[in-house]
Structure 1
């Protein structure tokens, strides 16, 4: 999802990356503050995109899509009354050696149905993403940035948009005793 150059969203992203705040004179690094409206916008968009990728969520357990260079597998890990936790994992096409390095890491996402939001809770089996959000110091043992949580949710947003634009449902058709 591209952000127009003249928007505040782009300005705050540059400030968060560089640590320079032009309004305070540019020299002192401003204390990081979560951009909550943009974070919620990403989580809302992720929820809608995941709902498109997972039709009949209440009755199905897994989905498989063919994307350029491989497959996307979405599987339900846990269900409760107001939340569903799913795993998204990409795999390379069989026989395509050397393309494994393009594969994104497995992502675990929690869907909050009452709030209609989806948030990344783990990447490559390691979570919670961004730590506990308190007492943040950098550098830290995991080398996470202050806006790590925002970054992975933005990454998920872009990845889901790519999958929706380029993915195809992977189904097997059976005619009599032959598969196609």
Structure 2
């Protein structure tokens, strides 16, 4: 029996672009550090509002849940979203201060995001799910930098004599 070209064709395996992924994580580190400097900080939690003129998008909370010498783990979540039909983002991000990178290690419903997923799989994750979630983090942090602010009543103004 002769095999046709269709039956011999094998599915190409996903190979992550490590250079692109590294650049994305470096950019996310910079965005995250800028946001944390702008946010109101109390203890291990930084918060700010998302608003554009009269449209309120909610509050973002960045909570430090673990810290070591060169790394920290943060929980980033948006709460009080005005849109009822949207799920509020909730990501766990590992920040490597020695390497100056930040990467998503888990997402709302999933404990751990694999670097590469076989496809199809039980949860129907894409082969490049980790890259996609980190790209989402980049977009979300960019949105936060554009529309985030600390309300004037929450700013600790210096006392001038």
Give the aligned length. 141
Query: Structure 2 matches for 1:36-115, cutoff 5 A?
Result: 36-55=18-37, 60-68=43-51, 69-92=57-80, 96=82, 99-115=83-99
Task: Mark the CA change 1:170 to 1:86 in structure 2 (over 3 Å): closer, same or farther.
Answer: farther
Aligned with 2:46: secondary structure? strand
How far, CA to CA, are the matches of 2:126 and 2:24 in structure 1? 18
Normalising by structure 2, what TM-score?
0.77
Aligned to 1:6: none
Give the structure with the larger strand fraction.
Answer: 2
Tell me, yes or no, if the aligned pair for 1:46 and 1:117 is still in contact at 8 Å: yes
RMSD: 2.6
Unaligned regions of 5+ residues in structure 1, if any?
1-26, 176-180
Question: How many angstroms does 1:89 deviate by?
Answer: 0.7
Unaligned regions of 5+ residues in structure 2, if any?
1-8, 52-56, 157-161
Q: State which of 152, 158, 167 in structure 1 corresponds to 2:148.
A: 167
Question: How many angstroms does 1:173 deviate by?
Answer: 4.5
Deviations 1:53-103 (A, max 9, x none): 1139xx95111111032111111010001101001110125xx5xx23224
Question: How many angstroms does 1:171 deviate by?
Answer: 5.6
How far, CA to CA, are the matches of 1:113 and 1:174 in structure 2? 27
User: Moved runs in structure 1, 4+ residues, more than 3 A?
Assistant: 170-175
How far, CA to CA, are the matches of 1:91 and 1:79 in structure 2? 23
Tell me, yes or no, if the aligned pair for 1:92 and 1:100 is still in contact at 8 Å: no
Aligned with 2:123: secondary structure? coil
Q: Larger relative CO (CA 8 A, sep 6+): 1 or 2?
A: 2
Q: State which of 104, 108, 122 in structure 2 corresponds to 1:120.
A: 104
Normalising by structure 1, what TM-score?
0.69
Question: How many angstroms does 1:105 deviate by?
Answer: 2.8
